[in-house]
Amino acid sequence: VVNSGEKTKWFIKPSVEGAYIAVSDTDIGDYKVKDFATKMASLSLLIGPRWDYASGDKFQMYGKVAYTLDESDDIDVVINNIDIKQSVAVDTLEVGGGLNYRGNSNALNLYLEASYITGTDYSEKLF
């Protein structure tokens, strides 16, 4: 196969994300949030080859694995005068892959990803 200006590179892209949100004593229409706190953490890793062409075009394929934990503790809200207290946890593992094509002027970027997510879709504890 003739190389015609094509250069292959392998990449590994780790990612860490996190968030913390807390709300208390807030009225939203018929809803009153007495107390609410949520924490989210996500770790992911993409790995695969990327081809950089002399024309400036880039094409990459990758595999992906990600773990996400999202917990909301001590939710205390009032909806239509009904007091609700609960804790919610979502714990998921995502496995997938994707393709990405980027034109030389970055005006065209095509992206396709497929993944399978498994884990605790939703768990709830009412107090």
Q: pLDDT of 67-126, one tens digit each?
A: 998 887 767 777 777 777 777 778 889 999 999 999 887 778 898 999 998 887 555 555
Q: What is the pLDDT of residue 31?
A: 72
Q: Tell me the C-alpha distance between 35 and 66, whole Å.
A: 30
Q: Tell me the C-alpha distance between 80 and 89, whole Å.
A: 24
- Asked whether the whole model's pTM tops 0.85, one would answer no
pLDDT > 70 in the chain, percent: 89
DSSP sequence for 81-96: TEEEEEEEEEEEEEEE
- Do 44 and 63 contact (CB within 8 A), yes or no? no
